[in-house]
Amino acid sequence: MKPVLTADKAVENIKDGSSLMVGGFMGCGNAFTLIDALVNKGSKDLTLMTSDTAFPEVGVGRLICQGRVKKLYATHIGTNPVSGQKMNSKEMDVTLVPQGTFNERMRAKGAGLGGVLTPTGIGTAVEEGKQKLTIEGKDYLLELPLGAEFALIKAEVCDKFGNCFLPMSTKNAAVNMAMAADYVIVEADKIVEPGEMDPEKVTIPGVFISAIVKSTLPASNLQLKA
């Protein structure tokens, strides 16, 4: 059985300077309850790894707007102008990673691989500072594994063993994040007993989950905070 915690208890070890992965895409699939608890806790100087920074004051965008993020790894920031402002002013260090590469680097970390080879980024600014290998006449970049101390994952259903169901696009990078982080907190709309979930619907096996939190801020009821 995995511990079922309050959101405040679940994030208490996310200290200033921690590295953090957050699943979801443009706010869809963000763990709103856990993000709310993290904002209230006041953690800052975070290294954040997420597909995108959503919108101002929506989901993971709240961490950006409130100045809690020192270093950001993301695939794009175009929907949150605050991210662009902080990047241009050097207030926040931003590394943009091609979306496929972002996922493969996390998958490599979770699988214990030394990195992945990809042609994506050859001949662009993406290749700066990276090792380039030529295999059978074709150039590849060596992209290193990407991991974090913590991951916040949103699930629709989770059993008490930690097995999770994430529907449709809410999966996004969540599966790879669960593999790549040391401590994974899942926020679930519904928590069920072992055996109540159809095994065919398990998106993330419980072996990757460290703790479970019940959602109190479902996306449909989220009130944007100014």
pTM for this entry: 0.90
Residues 3-19 pLDDT 10s: 999 999 999 999 999 99
- State the pairing for strand pair 181-192/164-165: unpaired
Q: How many CB atoms lie within 10 A of CB 44?
A: 15
Computed over every residue of the chain, the mean pLDDT equals 92
**Residue 126 pLDDT level (bands cut at 50, 70, 90):** confident
At residue 85, φ and ψ (nearest 5 deg) are: -65, -45
What are the chain's domains? Answer: 4-114+145-217 (3.40.1080.10)
How far apart are alpha carbons 70 and 91 in whole angstroms? 7
> Where is 139: in which H helix or E strand?
strand 138-143
pLDDT score of 111 more than 90: yes
What integer pLDDT is reported at residue 218 of this predicted model?
59
In the predicted structure, residue 34 carries a pLDDT above the cut 60: yes
Q: How confident is the model at residue 23 (pLDDT cuts 50, 70, 90)?
A: very high
The pLDDT of residue 224 is: 40
Over 80: is that where the pLDDT of 225 sits? no
Q: What pLDDT is attached to residue 221?
A: 39
Q: What average pLDDT does the segment 53-58 reach?
A: 88
The answer to whether residues 157 and 192 touch, using CB atoms and an 8 Å cutoff, is yes
Please enumerate in sequence order all residues whose Cβ is within 8 A of that of 209, keeping only pairs 6 or more positions apart, or say none: 2, 153, 158, 162, 163, 164, 178, 184, 185, 186
* Residue 26 structure tokens: 């443009």
What tens digit of pLDDT does each residue of 65-101 get? 999 999 999 999 989 999 999 999 999 999 999 999 9
Rounded to whole angstroms, the Cα distance separating 56 from 133 reads 40
Q: What is the helix (H) or strand (E) element at residue 40, kind and residue range?
A: helix 32-41
Residues 168-224 pLDDT 10s:
878 889 999 999 999 999 999 999 999 999 999 999 999 999 999 999 975 543 444
